[in-house]
Amino acid sequence: LPLVKFSNSLSFSLQAKMSRPLQAQRLEGTDKNIWVEFVKLAATYSKVNLGQGFPDFPPPDFLKEAFVKALSGENHMMHQYTRAFGHPPLVKILAQFYGKLLGRDLDPMTNVMVTVGAYQALFCCFQAFIEEGDEVIIIEPFFDCYEPMTKMAGGTPVFVPLRPKAPKDGKLMSSKDWQLDPAELASKFNERTKAIVLNSPNNPLGKVFSRGELELIADLCVKHDVLCFSDEVYEWLVYDGKEHIRIASLPGMWDRTVIIGSAGKTFSATGWKVGWTVGPNRLQQHLRNVHQNSVYHCATAAQEAVAQGFQRELELYGKADSYFSQLPKELQQKRDWLVQSLDAVGMKPIVPEGTYFLVADISKFKSDVPDVPDSDEPYDSRFAKWMVKNKGLAAIPLSAFYSGAHKNNYNHFIRFCFAKKEATLKAANDILQKWKQEKTSP
């Protein structure tokens, strides 16, 4: 009997503790994550996975060899901690490389920091600069983590959509047909605005912001004393001779911009999780504070290998042999294949100017997956789930890249990733062709 009594009182005290809210309030509404759900669906059902953004081809040999050398070479310090804010060879070469791109002298120790992928670079930005009451402007559609990261820091996201305008001549739509309304953008800036998140080239649309669009954003940032978190992870993936312009290079912007980059995207090695921030020390010092008190450090050997990769790219800069020239060339061809495949079956592609993503219009396929009126789930999300389960083809609904209030305005598009082997894209094409035949045959 005493034992029962003891266990009763124990369970009572446990219960009493559990009656307090467990989750920190600032996490409210941030628990649903598109990647957890759709990565699981793709793993379970997909025959061809064009969903999550990662290449299914290997990184370049020179990069893999550099990693192997770092791991198996004489220098056993490759297995130990290195400098917290970035392995010295990596921050040095990044400072040189971005110095050249931006046309300014960069100090490797104060203007560059290495992070665990661009994700952690973003996390450091939000934690370092956003607090209760601050507003953060996010351009829709957006890489989904910007919203929860704003909220986790106590801030309020303020959304402004890119507005599509169909071309008049019946041509395929391009990502550049999605534009900000200047007056609408200006109306979002006020004394509470602390930062704007810019992602050019943009995931999911592949939009590469033009100089004029960047000047519009820059002028508003300067006028309202607002920071810019510039997510440039797809900086090398631009097509058709288009130029990626760095907003930090515009007047007044260096002092208020954090540039975010990723070796995952740059060298087709997303699993390595090496990212970085570049910016003025007045901003970087606060990023270092968050980094040293949370993650502290990123894998040494991976940083060493990425440093070697950048060393090679600096030597070959602007030359045809450089990976930063070759990769976009190969991807542009893959983009064109996928554009053709989709166009041929009537799933209208929006031709991206950059990134390795392509958004397509599924309106013509509505008869396969009928609408459910009053459903909480956007149509494109149900469509993408149906498609992976019934056709074995995985993609991501575009509504996942919109805020709750705007999801249903953009619910008839899905996003495909075309950083895939030729065989994978061919298999996707086969699925689409077969699907079209089934639709048209009586």
Instruction: Catalog residues that contact ligand PMP under the rule CB under 6 A.
Output: 53, 117-119, 143, 199, 203, 231, 233, 262, 264, 270, 275
151 vs 348, beta carbon nearer ligand PMP: 151
Q: How far is the CB of 67 from ligand PMP (least distance, A)?
A: 16
Length of the chain: 442
Terminal-to-terminal C-alpha distance of the chain? 75
Strand partners, 139: 160
118 vs 158, beta carbon nearer ligand PMP: 118
Tell me the residue number closest to ligand PMP, measured at CB: 117
CA distances from 392 to 22, 137, 195 (A): 39, 37, 41
142 vs 379, beta carbon nearer ligand PMP: 142
53 vs 148, beta carbon nearer ligand PMP: 53
The helix-helix angle for 281-292 and 117-129 (nearest 10°) equals 110
| Residue that is written with structure tokens 């190969």 in the block | 330
CA distance 139 to 202: 10
Contact indicator for 350, 338 with CB cutoff of 8 Å: no
Collapsing DSSP to helix, strand or coil, 421 comes out as coil
CA distance 318 to 314: 9
Structure tokens at 28: 């409210």
Q: How far is the CB of 318 from ligand PMP (least distance, A)?
A: 25
Q: How far is the CB of 115 from ligand PMP (least distance, A)?
A: 8
127 vs 203, beta carbon nearer ligand PMP: 203
CA distance 275 to 292: 15
Q: How far is the CB of 199 from ligand PMP (least distance, A)?
A: 5
DSSP conformational letter for 373: T
Q: How far is the CB of 270 from ligand PMP (least distance, A)?
A: 5
DSSP H or E segment with residue 49: strand 48-49
Could you tell me the sign of the dihedral formed by the alpha carbons of 44, 48, 51, 55, in that order?
A: positive
How many CB atoms are closer than 10 A to CB 51? 24
Q: How far is the CB of 281 from ligand PMP (least distance, A)?
A: 23
Q: How far is the CB of 273 from ligand PMP (least distance, A)?
A: 6
Q: How far is the CB of 202 from ligand PMP (least distance, A)?
A: 7
Beta carbons within 8 Å of 422's beta carbon, 6+ residues apart: 334, 337
67 vs 143, beta carbon nearer ligand PMP: 143
41 vs 197, beta carbon nearer ligand PMP: 197
Task: State phi, psi for 180 to the nearest 5 degrees.
Answer: -75, 145
116 vs 338, beta carbon nearer ligand PMP: 116
149 vs 432, beta carbon nearer ligand PMP: 149
Q: How far is the CB of 275 from ligand PMP (least distance, A)?
A: 4
Contact indicator for 304, 64 with CB cutoff of 8 Å: no
1 burial type by CB count under 10 A (0-12 exposed, 13-18 middle, 19+ buried): exposed
